[in-house]
Structure 1
Amino acid sequence: MSRIVSKLLLVFILTICISASYSQDSLQSNIELNLNEHPPLEIPLRYSGTYGELRPNHFHAGVDLKTQGREGFPVYAVEDGFLSRIKVETGSYGKVVYLDHPKLNKTTVYAHLNRFSPKIQNYIKGEQYLHQTYEIQRYLRPTQITVKKGEIIGYSGNTGNSFGPHLHFEVRDRESEEPMNPLQFGLEAKDNDPPTIQGLYLYESEEPQVVTTFENRTMIALKTVKERIQYSATDTISVQGYYSFGIQSFDRLDLSANKNGWYRLELKRNDSLISELTIDRFNFTENPLINRSIDYHFYETSNNRVLLTTKEASNPLGFFKNSPSTELFKAEVGKIDYWKLTLSDYSGNTSSIDWTTKGVEGVKKLTIPFGNSTINQTVNNQFLEAQLIAIENSIYSMEGLDFQLTGDTLSIEPKEVLVRNPLLLQIIPKEIKQKPSWVSYAFFGQIGKKETKFIRKVESDTLSVTLRNTGDFHFAYDSIAPVVTPRNFSSGQAINGYRYLEIEAEDKETGIKSFEGYLDGQWVLFEHEPKQNRFTFDTSDILLIPGVHTLEFEVEDLLGNKAKKTFSLTIN
């Protein structure tokens, strides 16, 4: 007994020492990450997305590296470290690995993987079987799974919210978890083209404060001074009241047709730096600020993003440097100013616009931004009674909120705009109240172009919903179970030589909530790829002896409708 205790004590001491050495290394080392020594992929690096790009409701936290339209390329650890976190989910990053590099005080992230390396796969699959779940997240100790620079940690894929095979790669500060621009650390990005300028816009107002929605937006006519590099306004621009500017632009890297983001913006007036924006680091909490940094109304109506060169006083976005003005520029009658805006990509290619403004008399009017006043409105008919509650300035739109009930459809207009402050909707569905048995099949959803998007299950005759967008909403009913179909096998057949068994399960009404698989009564892991409605069982997980085996697969939709299929499988 004493020998066993001594061995356990020795193992404990060694573990503490190893962990302490990681901590000391992180405090003592000044080594910097060098992605040029070993990038995450060994194929030529081509980009479909760059760091900090303006995306729907967020800034892009890393780079997207193309994988030649295929999955399965080895993904490598860029530096020595340990597996600190691993996650498997059907959405977001899909299969993702987080590596900590204590000596560098960095974390690197590798997302949308097809599968993990064997030692990582064995660990996470063990956890999935232990807890009988496909979606899983685990945080690991520094000594559990260590990796060396250049070691394969997984294989590129298309899992999660990915719309084509690629590797999403990030570098984060290990302590703050803030994503940083990977190009800062030597990741190769061949780029010989300057940023493309699509448009320069003038915004005018009667108020000095910066806002993100303007009635008076004017596109400034430009002429080419030097092809794709230098432009100038065709005429002197008359300004009155308060004014500012916005830029619509993108950058392209070599060997890629994708419209990516640039790296730096500089705005000068009379050779003095007014505003600088550098895409190098941000905090995830700043993602909602993207809609306060662009002309949101223009984006809402045209799907084009114009970045404002000044910002709201309440917008703490860290990309902006040199304390840019939080007030619009004031026009002085007769005063002439000379402006220059320069865009740079990380390779140093630049494009610029020069223009001149002259202050004139008069003030242009501005419709109140964000539009709506406080609302507490009730609508009522034979189908529904509903109340909408919204505080002042809840939406990113110049239009006020309008709440209507037509038949069984609730309409909140203007439609398809982003909500700044949540809208509270309280509903009494009279039809369901009169027929309580319908409750188990009812859900509240937003009416889309092809189907009703599930928002919430109805659990009583009164419903309270917090909305983050506007549009048309109604109650829908779903009593139909998902449809389950085997894809590469049939019941009763021999499956010798089959590494994978695939099942298709689709629910067109509300979507899949959960699923379970059992082989001879024992839980087995099915991997779920929702983009293809595919569920895959790796037969090597279980020792299949000769004979007849029973495979059961059960799936449940968001309203609790279930489908169960049983298959007879033979091993000869």
Structure 2
Amino acid sequence: MIKPIDRPVLLSGNFGELRATHFHSGIDIRTGGVEGLPVVCVKDGKVVRVSVSPTGYGQALYVEHEDGTTTVYGHLQRFNARITALVRQIQYEQESFKIDEEVRDRQLIFHQGDTIAFSGNTGSSGGPHLHFEVRNTRSEHTLNPLLFYKIRDSRIPVVRGVYLYRESASGCVGLVRRVALKQSVNGCYTLGQLNIPAGKIGIAVFITDYMNDSWNKLGIYRLGVVAGKDTLFAMQMDSCSFDQTCFINEIKDFDCYKKKETVYRCFGNYQGQVMGVKNRNQGWITVGEDSIVPVKIDLKDINGNRATVTLTLKGKEAPVQEEQEVLRYDRSYSLDLSGATLDLEAGALSASVPKGMKIEKDTVSGRDIFVLSEKDVPLLKKARLSVAGEFDRKALICEVDRAGRKYPLATQWSEEGLVAEIGYLSRYTIAEDRQPPVISFLGKFPDGSLKFKIKDDFSGIATYRGEVNGRWCLFSYDPRYNLMRCSLKEPVFVSGQVNEVKVIVEDRVGNKNELLVKVKK
């Protein structure tokens, strides 16, 4: 397997890295801040799927190989001429910029080293790079591409802190001690004895890894915890399943992640559901009063660079805790809160949490804010929030942050009320969107393109369409810049005369707007 880009492989993201909602399924190869580098087929294969989207992977190719693997190339600027012609044909047939099409029967066969596309920055990309994946074709499990490529790396993973958690008698988990660490030259950290309240103790590790010639922060490849003689937690990122995406918050500490700390939890009730993770006793260390437990944390990157942390835990008398009403992680619930109902499946919570539901008032709208938890709690399974009442189709269920900002959710409307799926126990309210999207013509540009700015102030863009002289025309859409763009080279434009160009945009609650401009080609 050759490299997809003919340049030294430097990574801005590695496999299994902790992301906001998922484990990173491939590697992100830096392109030096530029677009348009040739992307080649890493081995003989057939393009079986093409995808174009304003979000996600943007423009992407899926190439199947005879050895049972599929390689994926994402955030592409453009495809090669042959694939581009096919993609444009599909887009015009479907009258849609966004497509995701299986093209197995189109005989798009390429040899190792053939240029299939050019690197870019499309979709939900934060800068020019190539997202590259290797998948098992049959299972669709993603494989760590660095099992196939050797990248120069002699840098030892850095341990920035060790965090200790305790499970209360009610099953709630709380942070009891945080130990910050200074970087060790040889990767060996010795903490000595840590006194903690006796009970079930969980360990988490704040880790940052780097590779040579790069300061991008990367995820760790292998992590293990041994208490006494027992291996309580072991993780090795060789493969991932898209089915395990929901368990990302079993591994990462959600509160720390919001502070941009990559903290790996080495305990959890459902960590066994994550491919490449094994734990014993759910990773918990039982520390009795006055007992001492030696602990060793071992971590390696994929090149074998290693760091270790050694410590001992000594149990002290645990404080007496008041009994509290909780939502247990292993039970299902249907909870009512003044017109709102929360339906929660067993296993939606990673651990039991205090039951802290209440009603507050939105000081601006006067509507109820349904507070489902005192602090945001990520869910392993979506929950159902329904709000009874008479609402029109402009109403939405919204999440409300601590500053009062509202984030609309995909909401179903019925005569009984509103329903939305939620991914967090958080704060929610009802809001309305009665303003149509705004469309602005930015003009005709020297590269022969027309550009329009489209923006919706609340519920978000649902559909967008461009027409020229009454016929559908291919417009690209980039929500990062609120930009729609088309080329005057599109076949629906007529040379030498004035063309009527119409842009039609609708938001998620049906507010609609359109703009007609006349342009001479």
1:459/1:481 CA distance change after superposition, 3 Å: farther
Residue 451 of structure 2 corresponds to residue 502 of structure 1:
yes
Alignment pair present for 1:554 and 2:504: yes
- Which residue number corresponds to residue 140 of structure 2? 177
- Contact in 2 for aligned 1:240/1:364 (Cα 8 Å): no
Contact 1:99 1:107 (8 Å CA) reproduced: yes
Alignment of 1:21-170 (within 5 A): 34=1, 38-102=2-66, 104-141=67-104, 144-170=107-133
1:544–1:405 CA distance, 2 compared to 1 (3 A) = same
Contact kept in structure 1, 2:460 and 2:507, CA below 8 Å: yes
> Partner of 2:277 in structure 1?
320
- Once the two structures are superposed, the pairs formed by residues 125-524 of structure 1 within 5 Å of their partners are 125-141=88-104, 144-186=107-149, 188-205=150-167, 214-220=173-179, 227-235=185-193, 240-269=198-227, 273-296=231-254, 298-299=255-256, 302=259, 304-312=261-269, 315-321=272-278, 324-326=280-282, 328-331=284-287, 337-358=293-314, 360=315, 362-363=317-318, 371-372=326-327, 374=333, 376-379=335-338, 385-390=339-344, 395=349, 398-406=353-361, 407-412=366-371, 413-429=373-389, 432=391, 439-447=392-400, 450-456=405-411, 458=413, 460=415, 462-489=417-444, 499-524=448-473
- SS at structure 2 position matched to 1:114: strand
| Cα deviation digits, residues 206-255 of structure 1 (max 9, x gap) | 67x9x8x622532347687x525111014365773333422111101122
Gaps of 5+ in 1: 1-33, 380-384, 433-438, 490-494
> Hey, what's the Cα distance between the residues in 1 that align with 2:29 and 2:448?
30
Q: Deviations over 1:337-366 (max 9, x none)?
A: 5433221111221111122345x5645678
Deviation of the 1:132 alpha carbon: 0.8
Larger % of helix: which? 1
RMSD: 3.2
CA contact (8 A) 2:499 2:520 kept: yes
State how far apart, in whole Å, the 1-side matches of 2:116 and 2:324 are.
49
Partners of 1:292 and 1:315 within 8 A in 2? no
Deviates more, 1:419-428 or 1:63-72: 419-428
Letter of the aligned partner of 2:211 in structure 1? L
Identity of aligned residues (%): 26
Q: Which residue of 2 aligns with 1:436?
A: none
Secondary structure in 1 matching 2:443? coil
Match of 2:494 in 1: 544
**Partner SS for 1:536:** strand
Name which of structure 1's ranges 243-252 and 312-321 shifts more when overlaid on structure 2: 312-321
CA offset at residue 401 of structure 1?
3.1
- Tell me if the contact between 1:513 and 1:558 (Cα under 8 Å) persists in the aligned partners: yes
Contact 2:134 2:144 in 1 (8 A): yes
Q: Which moved more, 1:63-72 or 1:168-177?
A: 63-72
Larger-Rg structure: 1
Contact 2:192/2:312 (8 A) holds in 1: no
- TM-score of the pair, normalised by structure 1: 0.80
| Higher strand fraction (1 or 2) | 2
Name the amino acid aligned to 1:426.
S
Secondary structure of the residue aligned to 1:289 is helix
Change over 3 Å in CA distance of 1:547–1:319 after alignment to 2: same
Contact 2:337 2:370 in 1 (8 A): no
Q: Report the count of equivalent residues.
A: 508
Q: Return the letter of the residue paired with 1:404.
A: I
Indicate the SS of the match to 2:147. Answer: helix
* 8 A contact 1:215–1:367 mirrored in 2: no
Q: Secondary structure at the match of 2:92?
A: helix
Are the aligned partners of 2:227 and 2:293 in contact in 1 as well (CA < 8 Å)? yes
Q: Identify if the C-alpha distance between structure 1 residues 457 and 70 changes in structure 2 by more than 3 Å, giving closer, same or farther.
A: farther
